[in-house]
């Protein structure tokens, strides 16, 4: 009997040895802490001394949080979900990893939240790959200069404040001045340009985001876009991670050699969310109650936009961050920070918006520091002189308002300038191709619009575009391939414009 028992024990011991040696049986070491305090999207945790900065922690109800503040005896955690079911004293576990998002081709055409969960009813994302949301910006050695234009399809921007692929161009203005409209028009204009567009909505009303998604879907632009939404009612933690998550998704496409456009709408809400978190975590407040690292918050985000050299894949990531100004104050804290981080800004003025000069771009206060180098040569020939004469015109016009008596040449310049301004007006969702823009702008510079009554100029410009036929396809291709037009070819275009505008004028005379 005793011998049999010993035999059994021996067999059992051998079996356990076998299981352990063959990894059937693994012991998991887990660190478990306790939740001390929770309120307004942040929590304090004790008992996890080995937690690393920015590590994900898992709470009892499945909600995750980011370890933000590491103090010797307490951790300040930013929650990424609802805190309603969390109780003081409940368990908190370390996850050993940092926060990441799904990346890959499967995201195209989808609407997701800041954690990468689908928000449309189109099933789960078919991708295994996940990238951390915070990644290092590309080193200088891998970066190429900005050399290819990114056409927004909006005349005033493409001509006077051009944007290049890989550039960071800020869009700023008071509320309701058409900031989102410019970004969305740019997305609509990319539909046959091999560009992947990511729209990151931060802290906006659900209704406006839904309208925007609908617009993208109707115009068939969703198929090359990704919409990442951190809506206004999300916890500040989700608002905070949204732009970084969107950038990682964009970087994946960039590293596959694609050109990517990413819109952050808007970073004012992002800065507010970060300020809220910092104050709740009792970090010391500085100017306008923002924490000391508010500049780093946005600089490390926008520094990830770049144009890669050919040998590193050749893709690009263009960033269009949007921010809202208060009462046209460009020198507030966040606007000045972003102006200094980006490669230029498009300023939208509420005054112009009220006058109906749409898009309400204030050319004098807008600038593009690198985009001009990326413009197509034939376009550059037109836009260079246009920029100069337009700014001269704006000065002259202010001067002329004082009732000064003007000589003929000045009056003529003012009349010409007014027509340029009319021609630059453009409705929403009507992006124009480069060729159409060149046609109109060349005609107005050559004075072909001088005889058209000012209130008919905008319409005449559109009529000129719709009269364009296939006869210009070779010229068009020449422009797109980066060649300059010869004087003869320019004349050919001008003659065409002249004949169209003459018939427009005849029409006006017949039905005034």
Residues of this chain that bind Mg ion (CB under 5 A): 180
10 binds, among ligand ATP, Mg ion, none (CB under 5 to 8 A by kind): none
Q: Does 321 bind ligand ATP (CB under 6 A)?
A: no
Calculate the alpha carbon distances from 8 to 2, 3, 43, 223 in Å: 10, 9, 53, 66
| Nearest to 295, CA basis, from 272, 271, 317, 318 | 271
Q: Indicate which residue of 369, 387, 418, 456 is catalytic.
A: 369
Residue with nearest beta carbon to Mg ion: 180
**One of 142, 303, 381, 428 touching ligand ATP (CB under 6 A):** 428
Q: Does 179 bind ligand ATP (CB under 6 A)?
A: yes
| Nearest to 327, CA basis, from 448, 123, 174, 478 | 174
Q: Does 383 bind ligand ATP (CB under 6 A)?
A: no
342 binds, among ligand ATP, Mg ion, none (CB under 5 to 8 A by kind): none
Q: Does 181 bind ligand ATP (CB under 6 A)?
A: yes
318 binds, among ligand ATP, Mg ion, none (CB under 5 to 8 A by kind): none
Q: Does 177 bind ligand ATP (CB under 6 A)?
A: yes
428 binds, among ligand ATP, Mg ion, none (CB under 5 to 8 A by kind): ligand ATP
* Part in contact with ligand ATP (CB under 6 A); list of ranges 102-110, 114-122, 179-187, 446-454: 179-187
Least gap, CB of 26 to ligand ATP (angstroms): 52
Q: Does 502 bind ligand ATP (CB under 6 A)?
A: no
Between 180 and 189, name the residue whose CB sits nearer to Mg ion. 180
- Dmax over CA atoms of the chain, in Å, equals 126
Pairing type for strands 259-265 and 195-202 reads parallel
The C-alpha atoms of residue 34 and residue 60 are separated, in whole angstroms, by 10
Least gap, CB of 212 to ligand ATP (angstroms): 9
Between 94 and 179, name the residue whose CB sits nearer to Mg ion. 179
SS (H, E, C) 44-78: EEECCCCCCCCEEEEECCCCEEEEEEECCCCEEEE
Q: How many CA atoms lie within 13 A of 245 on its CB side?
A: 29
Least gap, CB of 180 to Mg ion (angstroms): 3
- Provide the 8-state DSSP code for 361: B
* Part in contact with ligand ATP (CB under 6 A); list of ranges 29-37, 177-185, 392-400, 412-420: 177-185
* Part in contact with ligand ATP (CB under 6 A); list of ranges 116-124, 187-195, 248-256, 425-433: 425-433
Q: Does 352 bind ligand ATP (CB under 6 A)?
A: no
SS (H, E, C) 192-238: CCCEEEEEEEECCCHHHHHHHHHHHHHCCCHHHEEEEEECCCCCHHH
**Contact string 144-173 vs ligand ATP (x = CB under 6 A):** -----------------------------x
The C-alpha atoms of residue 337 and residue 341 are separated, in whole angstroms, by 6
**One of 358, 374, 443, 504 touching ligand ATP (CB under 6 A):** 358
Between 178 and 236, name the residue whose CB sits nearer to ligand ATP. 178
The C-alpha atoms of residue 480 and residue 434 are separated, in whole angstroms, by 8
The C-alpha atoms of residue 116 and residue 113 are separated, in whole angstroms, by 5
* Part in contact with ligand ATP (CB under 6 A); list of ranges 19-27, 176-184, 294-302, 387-395: 176-184
382 binds, among Mg ion, ligand ATP, none (CB under 5 to 8 A by kind): none
176 binds, among Mg ion, ligand ATP, none (CB under 5 to 8 A by kind): ligand ATP
Calculate the alpha carbon distances from 409 to 222, 387, 441, 496 in Å: 50, 19, 21, 27
Catalytic-residue membership of 369: yes
178 binds, among ligand ATP, Mg ion, none (CB under 5 to 8 A by kind): ligand ATP
Which H or E run includes 100?
strand 100-102
Size of the site for ligand ATP (CB under 6 A): 14
Q: Does 175 bind ligand ATP (CB under 6 A)?
A: yes
Count of Cβ atoms closer than 10 Å to residue 350 Cβ: 18
**Contact string 110-139 vs ligand ATP (x = CB under 6 A):** ------------------------------
Pairing type for strands 225-230 and 195-202 reads parallel
Three-class SS of residue 313? Answer: coil
CA end-to-end span of the chain: 119
Q: Does 93 bind ligand ATP (CB under 6 A)?
A: no
Three-class SS of residue 123? Answer: coil
Between 81 and 359, name the residue whose CB sits nearer to ligand ATP. 359
Least gap, CB of 178 to Mg ion (angstroms): 8
Least gap, CB of 261 to ligand ATP (angstroms): 17
The C-alpha atoms of residue 444 and residue 465 are separated, in whole angstroms, by 13
The C-alpha atoms of residue 497 and residue 467 are separated, in whole angstroms, by 9
The C-alpha atoms of residue 457 and residue 459 are separated, in whole angstroms, by 5
Residue 46: beta bridge partners? 34
Between 158 and 324, name the residue whose CB sits nearer to ligand ATP. 324
Query: What are the catalytic residues?
Result: 369
Which positions lie near ligand ATP, rule CB under 6 A?
173, 175-181, 324, 358-359, 426-428
């Amino acid at each position: 009997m005793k011998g049999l028992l010993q035999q059994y024990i021996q067999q059992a011991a051998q079996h356990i040895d076998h299981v352990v040696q063959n990894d059937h049986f693994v012991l998991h070491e887990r660190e478990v802490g306790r939740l001390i305090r929770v309120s307004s999207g942040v929590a304090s945790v004790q008992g996890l001394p080995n937690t690393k900065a920015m590590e994900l922690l898992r709470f009892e109800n499945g909600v995750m949080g980011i370890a933000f503040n590491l103090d010797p005896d307490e951790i300040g955690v930013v929650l990424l979900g609802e805190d309603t079911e969390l109780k003081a004293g409940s368990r908190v576990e370390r996850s050993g990893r940092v926060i990441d998002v799904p990346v890959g081709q499967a995201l195209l055409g989808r609407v997701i939240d800041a954690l990468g969960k689908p928000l449309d009813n189109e099933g789960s994302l078919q991708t295994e790959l996940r990238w951390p949301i915070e990644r290092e910006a590309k080193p200088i050695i891998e970066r190429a200069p900005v050399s290819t234009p990114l056409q927004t399809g909006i005349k005033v921007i493409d001509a006077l404040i051009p944007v290049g692929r890989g550039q960071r161009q800020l869009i700023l203005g008071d509320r309701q001045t058409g900031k989102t409209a410019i970004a969305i028009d740019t997305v609509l204009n990319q539909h046959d340009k091999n560009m992947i567009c990511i729209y990151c909505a931060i802290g906006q009303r659900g209704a406006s985001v839904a309208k925007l998604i609908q617009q993208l879907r109707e115009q068939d632009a969703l198929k090359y876009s990704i919409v990442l939404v951190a809506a206004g009612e999300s916890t500040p933690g989700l608002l905070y991670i949204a732009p970084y998550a969107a950038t990682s998704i964009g970087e994946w496409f960039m590293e596959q050699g694609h050109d990517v456009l990413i819109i952050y709408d808007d970073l004012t809400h992002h800065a507010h969310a970060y300020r809220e978190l910092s104050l709740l975590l009792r970090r010391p407040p500085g100017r306008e109650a923002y924490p000391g690292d508010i500049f780093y918050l946005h600089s490390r985000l926008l520094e990830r936009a770049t144009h890669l050299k050919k040998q590193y894949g050749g893709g690009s990531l263009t960033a269009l961050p949007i921010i809202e100004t208060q009462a046209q104050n460009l020198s507030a804290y966040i606007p000045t920070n972003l102006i200094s981080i980006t490669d230029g800004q498009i300023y939208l003025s509420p005054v112009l918006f009220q006058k109906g000069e749409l898009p309400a771009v204030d050319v004098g206060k807008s600038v593009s520091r690198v985009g001009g180098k990326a413009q197509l040569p034939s376009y550059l020939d037109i836009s260079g002189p246009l920029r100069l004469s337009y700014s001269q015109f704006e000065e002259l016009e202010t001067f002329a308002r004082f009732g000064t008596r003007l000589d003929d040449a000045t009056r003529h310049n003012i009349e010409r300038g007014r027509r340029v301004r009319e021609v630059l007006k453009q409705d929403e969702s009507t992006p124009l191709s480069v060729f159409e823009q060149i046609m109109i702008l060349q005609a107005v510079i050559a004075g072909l619009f001088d005889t058209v009554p000012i209130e008919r100029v905008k319409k005449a410009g559109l009529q000129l575009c719709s009269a364009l036929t296939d006869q210009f396809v070779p010229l068009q291709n020449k422009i797109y391939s980066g060649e300059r037009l010869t004087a003869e070819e320019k004349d050919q275009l001008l003659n065409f414009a002249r004949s169209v505008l003459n018939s427009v004028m005849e029409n006006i005379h017949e039905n005034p």
